[in-house]
Amino acid sequence: MLQISNLKKHFGGIKAVNNVSFEIQENKITALIGPNGSGKTTVFNLISGILKADSGRIIFNKEEITNKKVNEISNLGVSRLFQQARLFNNLTVKENLLLAINNEDTKFWKNLINYKFTDEDYKKINKIAEVVGIESFMNKQAGDLSFGQKRLVEIARAIINPHKLLILDEPVAGVNPKLRKEILLLLKKLKEKGEAILLIEHDMNFTLNIADNVIVMDEGKVIAEGNPKQIKNNKNVLEAYLGE
């Protein structure tokens, strides 16, 4: 459902993403791993339109999305979780989630005349809040939450945002082991429902446990691709990433 071919992005003399090609399939969890600075987040920024590619193509659901605007790509069905917290801190958790439901809220005249969220909208966010385990602080301000709580709210928001592909940048970084397990189960559940997930994660245990397919990057290039078993035994990967 997502095909990336010959993608390139340079920052000055640094080739952050250098001729990267890979593909992601429906009903699968794909993990993108690699040492710090290997270009993983840059690939994410290119997919979600935050950065413009120098060359190469990104095709999503048979549609070219290379260099489209961030909101357009989101509305085509790519939902992104950032590495750092990006909640709307002065809004409540509930408001943060309601914003992601659809874009009726951007219609000026409709809102001025009379537009309210429906019971169905509330049901939808409450259901996901329950699954993610954040229903107890729905009315709290997002800025007052702890790091782990913020992470869960962001994951919930990314899930509520209508999508066919979830791209998650380090969803469990800095999250305690119990929550980690819950997030793992949640992602597996989403996969069973037919979603495609692409994630960046440094925790090898977590990654190899969850991924169907692993792509390894180093210095802007893809150096290996395969199922977790193959990756565990790949010499290049051991050298570049695990330092053995």
Partner 1 sequence: MIEAYFIHLLILIGIYIILAISLQLAMGFTGLINLGHIAFLGIGAYTSALLALAGWPFWIAFLLAGLIAAFFGFLLSIPTHKLKGDYLALATMGFSFVVYAILLNWTELTRGPLGIPGIPKPSLLGFSFSSNLSFLILTAVITLISYLIIKRLVTSPFGKVLESIRDDELASKTIGKNTFKSKAIALVVSAFFVGIAGSLYAHYITFIDPSSFTIIQLIPVLLIVIVGGLASLEGTIIATVVLVSIPEMLRFVGFPSSVIGPARQILYALILLLILIFKPKGFYGKVKL
Q: Tell me which residues touch partner 1 (CB under 8 A).
A: 48, 50, 69-71, 74-75, 79-80, 82, 86-91, 95, 98-100, 103-108, 111-112, 115-117, 157, 161-162
Q: Which is nearer to partner 1, 80 or 151 (CB)?
A: 80
CB 106 → partner 1: shortest distance, Å? 6
CB 190 → partner 1: shortest distance, Å? 17
Q: Which is nearer to partner 1, 44 or 137 (CB)?
A: 44
Residue 62, by phi and psi: left (phi above 0), alpha (psi -120 to 50) or beta? Answer: left
Spatial contact of 33 and 168, defined as CB atoms under 8 Å apart: no
CB 69 → partner 1: shortest distance, Å? 8
CB 136 → partner 1: shortest distance, Å? 22
Q: Which is nearer to partner 1, 99 or 184 (CB)?
A: 99
Q: Which is nearer to partner 1, 167 or 222 (CB)?
A: 167
What gap in Å lies between CA 158 and CA 28, rounded to an integer? Answer: 17
Please classify residue 228 by burial: count the beta carbons closer than 10 Å to its beta carbon, then call 0-12 exposed, 13-18 middle and 19+ buried.
middle
CB 151 → partner 1: shortest distance, Å? 14
CB 183 → partner 1: shortest distance, Å? 19
* Alpha helical stretches, state H, 9-118: 40-47, 70-76, 93-99, 108-114
Q: Which is nearer to partner 1, 34 or 49 (CB)?
A: 49
Spatial contact of 122 and 97, defined as CB atoms under 8 Å apart: no
Q: What's the CA angle centered on 18, arms 13 and 19, to 5 degrees?
A: 145
Query: Residue type for 46, please?
Result: L
Q: Which is nearer to partner 1, 108 or 235 (CB)?
A: 108
Q: What's the CA angle centered on 175, arms 169 and 179, to 5 degrees?
A: 110
Spatial contact of 50 and 231, defined as CB atoms under 8 Å apart: no
CA 32 to chain centre: 11
